[in-house]
Structure 1
Amino acid sequence: MTSSDPAFFAPARVPVLTAAEMRAWDEQAINAYGVPERVLMESAGRAVAATVQRLYPSGRVVAVTGSGNNGGDAVIAARTLWMWGRDVDVVHVGKSPIDATLLHGWELYTAQASTALSGAAVILDGLLGTGASGAPTGAYADAIAAMNASGCPIVALDGPSGVELTTGAMPGDAVRADVTVTFGAPKRGLLLFPGRGRAGRIVAVEIGFPRLAEDGASARLITPAWAHAVLPPVPPNAHKGTMGKVSIVAGRRGMAGAAVLAGLGALRAGAGMAALVSPAANREILQTSLPEALFIDRDVLEADFLAGSKAAVAGPGMGTDAEALEVLRVIAKESDIPLVLDADAVTLLAAHPDLRDAIGDRALVLTPHPGEMSRLLRIPIDQVTADPFAAATKAAEDFACTVLLKGTPSLVATRGRETLVSVAGHSGLATGGNGDVLSGVIGAFLARGMEPWDATGAALWFAGRAAELAGRGRGLLPTDVADALPAALLEEPARESALGLPGIVLDLPPAR
């Protein structure tokens, strides 16, 4: 692997910050811990310079700077690269002049964007920082357009100018970065679309901030190191009982595939047993397609049909008619084992809120996509997609459970815990049936005794990583994901960034 071929690297705990949380952390470093602001800026600029030197080691560098601290960071990066022997130009867009104390005696050469950007080996975007909002205008908008039209690689400092770093929104044009070097921790807007699509490869660097308090971030990233750490080890004397039985209520007549995929996900994720609860009409295809699973006739449910199960999954392809509703009511009253409600079961819950009371205090996981979330919360879908963090948090509060809001990124919310943010996988997962596999994986992890927050977050990581390991790209099928799960579970997380530089706390490849 080379420095231009990144793998997802991060330690176990990586906070994901809003712009306000980032400003509070910055103020805490300066006011409570006595870290001079200039020291933070120097560290940020030198970290950018080191990243540029590793990824783009030769040719002329052009720093495009604004008036704020983001511009100052870019000036320091440019000055450092010049001291390391690089040819450097600066295009200053800000209304106030560059702070001469940042130059350390360097004779700054400034140029016009129209001439400086042509033929540059790399451009540094130091126009706008975390405090910026609204559409860039005037000289800033012109500079963004010029950078994007240059055809040169762009390294954004903290975030691409024009992207709002809390929401990921782009009120106007925004820089199209190849690499974003962000300081301290990634910001939400770098992981939410459309901002994610402009950030490129995201490299978060440590620049001297104090340890972030537990309540200093409302979200954290699901990292490979975290997912592997929360997964319970398999004891050498394990048997099917210790690995847990999952009952999966799925597949109405003519929809047997959903049950097969959920069962396959559960078994490939390590469940000791899987029982498929489905109409008798599906029996032949289910037992032919997945002979490793048990079959239970949904049409003649007995009172103890969940007996011996450590977790249950309900919903994939089960339908939303009166018959499916009755089955769900039976499940709700049957036992107190952890329960995952997916797909049709989420729709039934939205239409029949009394089901939540019937489920009681057992561990519950809901897995809505944005449309299902809009029905759960009775709000427009645009409101869900505009602020998915708020939607996931509200649903977790309203239904007193763990909520997986599917999307890019997917989010896991539960009361009293940080929201988990998943960036594993790629656009090939946008195929019907992958959610069924995922629900089976969550069920398997719950059957192992994992808490819902951990089980859901880990399932997102391993299913997403399996999609990458499958190597199918846009031709990815849900069965490919399930079949690659064992390899994902056996994989060792990367121990360092492919950049090979000190102080890297996140190295995330571009969105695919």
Structure 2
Amino acid sequence: MTLPASHPILTCAEAKALEARVLGGDEAAEWRAMSAAGAAIATAMREDMREAGGFPAGGRLLVLVGKGHNGGDALIAARVWRTFFPAARVDVWFAFGERALRPLTARAWRELATVDAERVRVVSAEEWGARYDASVDGVFGFQFRPPVDEATKALLLRFNELDVRFRAAVDLPSADVARADFTYATGSVKTPVVDAEMAGRVRYLDLGFFRDDVVKDEGERALRREILAPLARLRPARGDKRNYGQLIIVAGSRSYPGAALLATLGALQSGVGMLTVLVPETCAAAFAARAPDAMWVGCPVTPEGGLALDTLSVLRERMGRATALMVGPGLGREKETLAMIAEAVKLVDMPVAIDADALQPEIVAAVKGAKVLTPHAGEFARIAGKGADLRAYAQAANATVVLKGPVTRVSSGGGVYQSFFGGPVLARGGSGDVLSGLCGGLLAQTPDDPLLAATRATVWHGVAADALARMVGHTAARTADLPGRLSEILRRFA
């Protein structure tokens, strides 16, 4: 098993110890780390703000600064922001006054203040503008100990009422009171941010603190996009399609035909060598016109339009050299169809990916070998029981589980791998079908490593969703456009 590219999610005490070990109390090293963090925040903000239409050339940025290094990170981010947008105006609010700044934070302020005194100004809370294009919250960091004093809390609540198009926070939203759209976890992801109500979406910014980390399949871990890098490499010159796996998908019904097509489009982008899709006979011709690079096989249907029990004989004929089976998208819940799927998974001697309506306890239990399950919260409760623990269920079921949500979590019973990629653009019908197809295609290529296939699919799907949101925003995006973003993600590793 190849352990996924990831870093541990740390408690605040562990994060403090890590930084002490890496930086050793050396002020020069701490300044380099602060400078790297600020630059990474500014760069990530610029990319993420594209989801909201981008930052206007002469836009306004509000920076909230505390005493410590979070404030320094925010100030350096503002300085780098000015290099991106030279005409931008920056308002800086010192929560505890300039005199309270620690030495490196004071240095960061001096460097920002000397860039362009006319466009950078210190403001009191009473002088906050009526509207800002973006803000950066650097008041309290992960070493903050509650409670916050009432005066500061009142100002943070007032900040929440401002008209700000894009709100960023450094490491943690201050006191879990200040509201953020994105929280940028610098150096490591700290456990409080994962469940912080006001954090918005979490972005992990790797600063190289884990260069000596020994990767283990345990604990909570943050997935890294580097898990995709091997997919961008050249394939062997004498490679054959049979070297890249053969996937069979069983999906679709008269009521939900689109799910089968979306899963197929996801699988086709995975790099799988051969793809065979078993769908209702009423759908096969139309789908072949949409995706001719898959082998579409029309199967018998029930009077209600679901796949009939006779589909088993079609599957037997097509199993051949298949290396993975994927079932579920758009099947519906007809008894005959689900009974056919329960028998189908018993037939095959290969890993099985299960999604959507096929996520039934009896079907999951019928799989003899490795299995990857891709439920959302409701489907997980159906197969595991209400309130079940992801890691414990994955271990008991001998399965790799991709629990979809705002932060998708993956486990095979060891570590729990969290993906902070993707976002609200995925909160629409069909996005899970694309993920299941992608997961099946990758599973067919690494049938002996379902955890790698599942985590790689999760990250790839999420990063592609980020790319889609940056192109078209959240509201008018279409799930059908998501597969087309998968290829461009790999090109970024070139």
Matched, 1:186 2:183: no
Change (3 A) 1:205 1:411: closer
C-alpha contact 2:137 2:173 (8 A) present in aligned 1: yes
Q: Find the counterpart in structure 2 of residue 243 from structure 1.
A: 244
Instruction: String of CA shifts for 1:255-294, please: whole Å, max 9, x gaps.
Output: 2222222222212322222222233344444444444323
Matched, 1:322 2:311: no
1:478 deviates by 3.0
Q: Find the counterpart in structure 2 of residue 35 from structure 1.
A: 24
Q: Find the counterpart in structure 1 of residue 157 from structure 2.
A: 145
Instruction: String of CA shifts for 1:286-329, please: whole Å, max 9, x gaps.
Output: 44444432305253222444222111110111122321222122
Name the aligned partner's letter for residue 197 of structure 1. Answer: G
Aligned residue for 2:330, secondary structure, equals coil
Change (3 A) 1:78 1:119: farther
Name the aligned partner's letter for residue 221 of structure 2. Answer: R
Change (3 A) 1:193 1:314: farther
- The match for 1:55 among 65, 81, 87 is 81
Name the aligned partner's letter for residue 23 of structure 1. Answer: A
Aligned residue for 2:260, secondary structure, equals helix
Q: Find the counterpart in structure 2 of residue 86 from structure 1.
A: 113
1:469 deviates by 4.5
- The match for 2:413 among 412, 415, 435 is 415
Cα RMSD after superposing both structures:
4.0
C-alpha contact 1:312 1:340 (8 A) present in aligned 2: yes
- The match for 1:294 among 284, 293, 296 is 296
Name the aligned partner's letter for residue 293 of structure 1. Answer: M
Q: Find the counterpart in structure 2 of residue 493 from structure 1.
A: 493
Change (3 A) 1:155 1:39: farther
C-alpha contact 2:401 2:410 (8 A) present in aligned 1: yes
Aligned ranges for residues 111-130 of structure 1 at < 5 Å?
Answer: 114-115=125-126, 125=137, 127-130=139-142
Aligned residue for 2:95, secondary structure, equals strand
C-alpha contact 2:168 2:184 (8 A) present in aligned 1: yes
Mean Cα deviation higher: 439-448 or 135-144: 135-144
Matched, 1:252 2:274: no
1:248 deviates by 0.7
C-alpha contact 1:250 1:258 (8 A) present in aligned 2: yes
Aligned residues: 424
Q: Find the counterpart in structure 1 of residue 356 from structure 2.
A: 343
Give the gaps of 5 or more residues in structure 1. Answer: 1-11, 88-110, 164-173, 385-390, 495-512
Q: Find the counterpart in structure 1 of residue 366 from structure 2.
A: 358
CA distance in structure 1 between the partners assigned to 2:247 and 2:138 by the alignment: 52
Aligned residue for 1:162, secondary structure, equals helix
C-alpha contact 1:64 1:126 (8 A) present in aligned 2: no
Q: Find the counterpart in structure 2 of residue 462 from structure 1.
A: 460
Q: Which has the higher contact order (CA 8 A, sep 6+)?
A: 1
C-alpha contact 2:391 2:416 (8 A) present in aligned 1: no
Give the gaps of 5 or more residues in structure 2. Answer: 35-68, 84-88, 115-121, 300-306
Q: Percent identity?
A: 24
Change (3 A) 1:207 1:289: closer
Normalising by structure 1, we get a TM-score of: 0.70
1:205 deviates by 6.5
Matched, 1:427 2:424: yes
C-alpha contact 2:221 2:416 (8 A) present in aligned 1: yes
C-alpha contact 2:79 2:111 (8 A) present in aligned 1: no
Normalising by structure 2, we get a TM-score of: 0.72
Aligned ranges for residues 100-179 of structure 1 at < 5 Å?
Answer: 114-115=125-126, 125=137, 127-130=139-142, 138-149=150-161, 156-163=169-176, 174-177=177-180
Change (3 A) 1:139 1:37: farther
